[in-house]
Structure 1
C-alpha cells in the first residue's frame, strides 16, 4: 500500500516539475536582462539629450522657456519608459499564477479520477480481493475445511446456536468424523428436544461409524425417529441405503420412494430418483438370475405375462441417431391406482426394437404386482435426461386399460414428444 502511494506521489511531482519548468525557462532570464539593458539605454540617452539642451541654452541657441519645456518633455519620456518596464515586471509576476493553477488542477483531477473510476475500493480492502482470488482456485476439500472452521468458531462464540451445531454435525459426517457428528447432534437435542429430523442424522452418523451395519443401538434411534415421523427423510434414506447394500432392492425402493413422495423440502430428488431407478434395475436383474423363482413361471398360465414389442418411429430414429444412447423405461402401472410401477424394465435406445415380457418377477414390492390388478396402463419412454418419470421433452408411447391376462403381443412405437 505504501509503495503504491509513493509511486503515485512521484508521478505527480514529475508532472509538476514539467509544468513549472515551462514557466521558469531561461527565456525569462533573458527577458529580464533585456529589460535592464533597455532601462540603462534610456537613462544614458536622457543624460545625453539633457546635456545637449544645456549646451544649446548656454550657446544661446534656445531660450530659457524652450529649455524648460524641452526638459519637461524629456523627463516625461524617461518616466514613461520606466513605467513600461515596471508593467512588464508586473506581467511577468502574474504569470506564476498559471503554473500554480495548473498544478492544483492536475492534482485534483488525478485524485478525483482515481477515487471514482479507479480500483481504490479494491485497494482499500485487499483482504477481500485476495480471498476472492484465492476462492477461484480453492478445492472442494479446502472449502469444506474452511466451512468446518467457520462453524466450529460459531459454536465457540455462540454455544447455544442450535442451527450452527446441526450444520456442524452434518459437516462432520461429510469428512468422516462420526464421533464428533454424534456429539454435535446430541448437543442440538439437548437444546431443542427430541425430534425425528435430529434423530435421523444421528442414526446416519452411528451407521457410518459402525461400518454401515445396523446394530441394536442404531435400530433404537431409528425406531424412535419413525415413531415421531414415519416420513422422516434422513431415516428412510438410511434404511434404503442399508437395504440396497444388503441387496434387498425391493425395500430400498420402498424406503426411497417414501421420501420422494413425501414432497419434503431440501431433498435432492434427482439423485434419489436415480438411486430408485438403479435399485429397480438391480431388482429386475436379480430376479432374472434367480433359478426356479417367479421369472421361470412361464408355464403358469394363471399369472399375467404381457408381451410388449417396442420400437422407435423412423422420424425419432433419425432425430436420435447422432445423439448418445438414451435410457428407455418400459413399465406398467395400475389403470386405476397408485403410479408405482407393477413391472418395469430399463433399456437403451440401441436395444430397440425389442420384445419383452412384463410379469410379476419385475415387481417393485411383493404387494404391488401385475397379478394384483386386472387392468394396467403400459408406457414406453425415451428419457432425454436419463431419469425416471415422464418429463417435458421425453418421447413416449402408451397403451391404456390393458387386461393383465392379455396373451397377444402389444405393439408400441415410440413417437410422441411430451410437451
Structure 2
C-alpha cells in the first residue's frame, strides 16, 4: 500500500514539474526571445527608413527641414515601440507565477477527488474481500466444492451444535464422493435432532453410492424407515427412481419421480426431474412396455391397499380436447366417509391416456391420511381445463364410489362426463 501511494506522489510531482517547466520557459526564454526579435525588427526597420530619408536628402527629393522633421518622428516611433514591449514583459514577469500555482493546485485536488470518489480506494481499504471474490470467480466447480467443504467444516468445528451446517456438510460430502464422511455426518445430525425422513433419505443415498449404486439389505432398512416417516420424502423417492432407471424398470422410475413432482415439496429441481421423467417415458416407448404396468405393485406390501386404476378418455372428450393444449389429469382417492383430502393422488397429462395407475400409501398427502387408514374410498379422474386441483365447471370427470380399499382387480374409469354449473 505504501508503494502504491509513493507511486501516486511521484506521478503528481512529475506532472507539476512539467507544468512549472512550461511556464518558467515561457517567462524567461520564450518571452525574452520574442521581445528580442521584436526589438531587432524595429531597429532594422528604423535604419532602413533612416537610410531612405538620407538618400532622399542627398538626391534633393526633400529639404533639410523636412529631413529633420521626418527623422524626429522616426526616432519617436522607435521609442514608442520599445517601451510598451518592455512594460508588457515586466507585467508578465510579475503575474506568471499565478498560473502554474493555480494549475498545480487544480491537478492535485482533481486527482485525489477522482480517485477517492470514482477510483478503487474503497476496495483497497478492504483487500481481503476483493481478493476473495476474485479468487472465487476463478475457481472451477471442483475447487468451489472443496472451498465449500472447508467452509462447512470450519462452521461445524466452531459450533458442533449447528445441526443445519452438519447436514449441509453431509450433502457436500456426497457431492465430493466422500460417502463414509457423509454417512457419519447424517448419523451425528440424527443424534442431535432425532430420526427424520429428510435425513434418512440423504443417508440412504450416500450408502447407495458407496455400494456402487446397488440397494442391499442395510440400505433397504434405511429406505423403509424414511418412507414410514414420510412416504413423499423427496430424497428417498428420487433414489428409488434412480435405482429403478438403472435396472431398466422405467415405469417404476416414472412413478417415483412423479411422486416427488406431485408432492410440491420445496428444495427440489422440477426441471431436472421432469427431464428424467421424460427420458424414462422415452425408454418405455422404445421398449414397448406399458406406461405404468401392474408390476409396479411388486414394491408395495401386499397386505396394504394398492388400487390399480385404468384411466381412459371417451371418444367425445378426445375429440373436444384434440384442438386444445395438453390438459392436466388428476386421479385421486378420498375417504368414502370422511374429509375430502386425497389419500392418494397422481397428476398426469391427457396425452398420456389411456394409462394404468397404482394408488397406494406412497402418494399420501400426510402420514395420517393414507389409503391404508380407511376401508372404503371414492376414486375420481378429472381432466382439469384450468390446470388446478378440484372439480370445476367445464372440467371432464369420471368417478367410482364406495370401492373397497383392499380391492385387487383393476378399476376401469372412462372420463366422459362434463361438469356443469350448479
TM-score scaled by length of structure 2: 0.54
Cα deviation, residue 123, structure 1: 4.2
**Which residue of structure 1 lines up, in the alignment, with residue 50 of structure 2?**
none
> Secondary structure at the residue paired with 2:161?
coil
The one-character-per-residue Cα deviations of 1:207-257 (angstroms, maximum 9, x if unpaired) are 111122222222222222223223222122222222333333443333333
Change (3 A) 1:183 1:91: same
Contact 2:198 2:233 in 1 (8 A): yes
Contact 1:196 1:229 in 2 (8 A): yes
Change (3 A) 1:90 1:285: closer
> Secondary structure at the residue paired with 1:230?
coil
Give the distance between the partners of 2:101 and 2:311, measured in 1 at CA: 103
Give the distance between the partners of 1:187 and 1:375, measured in 2 at CA: 44
Tell whether 2:153 aligns with 1:155. Answer: no
Give the distance between the partners of 2:269 and 2:381, measured in 1 at CA: 30
Give the distance between the partners of 2:380 and 2:290, measured in 1 at CA: 28
Cα deviation, residue 146, structure 1: 2.0
**Which residue of structure 2 lines up, in the alignment, with residue 235 of structure 1?**
236
> Secondary structure at the residue paired with 2:272?
helix
Change (3 A) 1:377 1:284: farther
Tell whether 2:358 aligns with 1:365. Answer: yes
> Secondary structure at the residue paired with 1:363?
strand
**Which residue of structure 2 lines up, in the alignment, with residue 109 of structure 1?**
110
Tell whether 2:13 aligns with 1:13. Answer: yes
The one-character-per-residue Cα deviations of 1:123-165 (angstroms, maximum 9, x if unpaired) are 4445544544454443222222222222222222333222111
> Secondary structure at the residue paired with 1:144?
helix
Contact 1:333 1:341 in 2 (8 A): yes
Change (3 A) 1:244 1:345: farther
**Which residue of structure 1 lines up, in the alignment, with residue 141 of structure 2?**
140
> Secondary structure at the residue paired with 2:358?
coil
The one-character-per-residue Cα deviations of 1:271-327 (angstroms, maximum 9, x if unpaired) are 22333344344445555499xx99xxxxxxxx999797999x9x99xxxxxxxxxxx
5+ unaligned residues in a row in structure 2: which ranges? 33-88, 296-309, 335-341, 361-377, 389-393, 400-411, 417-422
Change (3 A) 1:162 1:9: same
Contact 2:262 2:347 in 1 (8 A): no
The one-character-per-residue Cα deviations of 1:373-415 (angstroms, maximum 9, x if unpaired) are 9997789x9xxxxxxx979xxxxxx995699799xxx9xxxxx
Cα deviation, residue 100, structure 1: 4.2
**Which residue of structure 2 lines up, in the alignment, with residue 270 of structure 1?**
271
How many residue pairs get aligned? The number is 301
Contact 2:197 2:225 in 1 (8 A): yes
Give the distance between the partners of 2:197 and 2:231, measured in 1 at CA: 9
Give the distance between the partners of 1:375 and 1:219, measured in 2 at CA: 33
Tell whether 2:258 aligns with 1:257. Answer: yes
1:315-354 correspondence to structure 2 within 5 Å: 340=346
TM-score scaled by length of structure 1: 0.55
Change (3 A) 1:91 1:151: same
**Which residue of structure 1 lines up, in the alignment, with residue 247 of structure 2?**
246
Give the distance between the partners of 2:15 and 2:311, measured in 1 at CA: 96
Contact 1:335 1:400 in 2 (8 A): no
Change (3 A) 1:222 1:117: same
Change (3 A) 1:374 1:99: closer
1:12-411 correspondence to structure 2 within 5 Å: 12-22=12-22, 24-25=24-25, 96=97, 99-283=100-284, 285-286=286-287, 288=289, 340=346, 362-365=355-358, 400=396
Change (3 A) 1:137 1:307: farther
Give the distance between the partners of 2:347 and 2:167, measured in 1 at CA: 37
5+ unaligned residues in a row in structure 1: which ranges? 32-87, 295-302, 317-327, 347-357, 368-372, 382-388, 392-397, 411-419
Contact 2:254 2:280 in 1 (8 A): yes
> Secondary structure at the residue paired with 2:160?
coil
